[in-house]
Structure 1
Amino acid sequence: MRRIVIGGNWKMQITSNNEAVRIADDIAQGLSTMSNVDVFIAPSFTELYSVSKAIKDTHLMLAGQNMYYHEKGAFTGQISVLSLKELCQFVILGHSEPRRIFGETDDLIRLKLLKALESGLTPVLCLGETAKEREGGKAQEILHQQLAGSLKGLEINQMKEIVIAYEPVWAINNKFLNPDTKIRPATPVEANEAHTIIREWLNNEFGAPTAEEISIIYGGSMNAQNAKELLNLEQIDGGLIGGASLSAEKFLPIIRIAAQLSENQSADYRWENNTLRFDE
């Protein structure tokens, strides 16, 4: 069974250590009975240490929001994997904001991903198309391009350590990414189609057993209102949450939904028309 992963990407939204610690502690306390889901948050780099102390000995884990592929050197403004691995279990790579705003390429992301794996961090590789690319019928082409470029040269054993996040750029609430586009989450059909495209590509490149082990999570405006419908889909194994992860009140309901589905998946169930039905 694929693991369920729920991540909270705080981006540059929380700028106070005290506030970060308070929110993280609230989330961690709420996780005490939900150990069947892997949950991480990604605070700003300057808040990681304080938050790590606050959530010690809880189920809540930490992620870096990015990293560089050199361990040390004259790289002003970058963060080393050596610094992250002391505090974090995950690292987010290839997010649409570094890709689209700061020009990160698939090849650069591949180098970062290899270094993360070498250092024992779990990379969360983000992929996704823009509204223009989707409207032009290029969504599958873009996903294949990003997968091929970011995963070039990886071995099967390395692939099993990766989490992939599909984040349709057009569903992300960021005016720099979507200045002229109405923001909306992907419909369940759109999300499941994209996740299926990703898993089929993984199947073709690395084989069915490996493809079936990799968790593919959804990262486009998931919230408590749409989480159940999205997480019920066969190909969606969790979520990378933005705005809804900035408070325990909004984040914990999503995690609870994921935990309930994870528990039920250990029982007898079947998929019918993209709906999870449990046997009596």
Structure 2
Amino acid sequence: MRTPFVAGNWKMNKTGEEARLLVSELLPALQPITTVERAICPPFPYLLPLANMLKGSGIGLGAQNMHWEASGAFTGEVAPAMVAEFCQYVILGHSERRAYFHETDEMVNKKVKAALAIGLTPIMCVGETLSENEAGLTAEVVTRQTRLGLAGISAEEVSRVVIAYEPVWAIGTGKAATAQQAQDVHARIIRPVLREMFGETAAQAMRIQYGGSVNSKNAAELFAMPDIDGALVGGASLKAPEFIAIVQAAAEAKK
């Protein structure tokens, strides 16, 4: 049985003081929920102080992005080893990175390989835009992003990758995919691609999160679906009661 995994993507939010306050609110409630893998992904400046707060808690820390090169003249970028010094996870290929910073599937693939090489768990995001969804291109887009993002990776390596299906039209809009819509993409599009690329065992072992307006009200219904293995949570991860409730819902649904 796949261990559910709920990660909070804080995006570009919170001051240092607010970040520490949020973690201090999360810790007492999240530490006892050991049946769910839990992580927070704050902005880069807060990785060190929050790593110290989370030490020994069982709650993981992730970065929101990284470069694929080990070092060099890449002003403003962060190398894999810099992330791995504090984090266990890294979000890669988020739709905002693809849309606003023009990241391609090939760039995402380089980042996934670099993350695996340094011992990080990549959370690789895939998902279609509203226009692609309305044009019936969901399968084509998600298949391409999954296939190219994982190209050249072995079945052994891919077991350490987490995929997050985040339909772009649902991110930050309050309009989440229905549980059945998300389940269909996970079970009928993503997992078959994984099966074709890496075999049945690897495909069944890999975790696929859902992301896009996940909150305490829809979490239980989403997690009840057999192929939804947790969530990459955006706005709701900035509010302690909401994020706690989502993690609790994952624990209840996957008992």
The question of a shared fold, defined as TM-score above 0.5 by the shorter chain, is answered with: yes
Which secondary structure does the structure 1 equivalent of 2:39 belong to?
Answer: strand
2:86 equivalent to 1:87: yes
The one-letter code matched in structure 1 to 2:176 is P
Partner of 2:74: 75
User: TM-score, normalising length from structure 2?
Assistant: 0.97
- Partners of 2:172 and 2:16 lie apart in 1 by 24
Partner of 2:10: 10
Normalising by structure 1, report the TM-score: 0.89
**Structure index of larger Rg:** 1
Gaps of 5+ in 2: none
Counterpart of 1:278 in structure 2 is: none
Q: Percent identity?
A: 41
| Greater per-residue helix proportion | 2
Q: Runs of at least 4 residues of structure 1 off by over 4 A? A: none
Number of aligned positions between the proteins = 254
CA distance in 2, matches of 1:136, 1:224: 30
C-alpha displacement of 1:82: 1.0
Partner of 1:37: 36
Post-superposition offset of 1:60: 1.3
Alignment of 1:133-148 (within 5 A): 133-148=132-147
SS in 1 for 2:73: coil
SS at match of 2:153: coil
* Residues 1:114 and 2:113 aligned together: yes
Following the alignment from structure 2 to structure 1, what is the Cα–Cα distance between the partners of residues 51 and 16?
11
Q: Can you list the C-alpha shifts for 1:231-259, whole angstroms capped at 9, x where unaligned?
A: 00011000000010002111000101111
Superposed CA offset, 1:64-107 (max 9, x none): 10000011111001011111111100000000000011100000
Q: Which residue of 1 aligns with 2:253?
A: 261
Partner of 1:60: 59
Aligned-residue Cα RMSD (Å) equals 1.0
Look up the SS of the partner of 2:27 in the other structure: helix
Which structure 1 segments of 5+ residues have no match? 175-182, 265-280
Give 2:181's match in structure 1, choosing from 187, 190, 207.
190
Q: Supply the distance in 2 between the matched residues of 1:32 and 1:115 (Cα, whole angstroms).
A: 30
Distance 1:257 1:115 in 2: 33
Q: Name the CA distance, whole Å, in 2 between partners of 1:77 and 1:184.
A: 33
After superposition, the C-alpha distances for 1:214-242 in whole angstroms (9 at most, x for unaligned) are 00000111100000000000110000000
Within the candidate set 216, 220, 237, 2:229 is matched to: 237
CA distance in 1, matches of 2:28, 2:66: 28
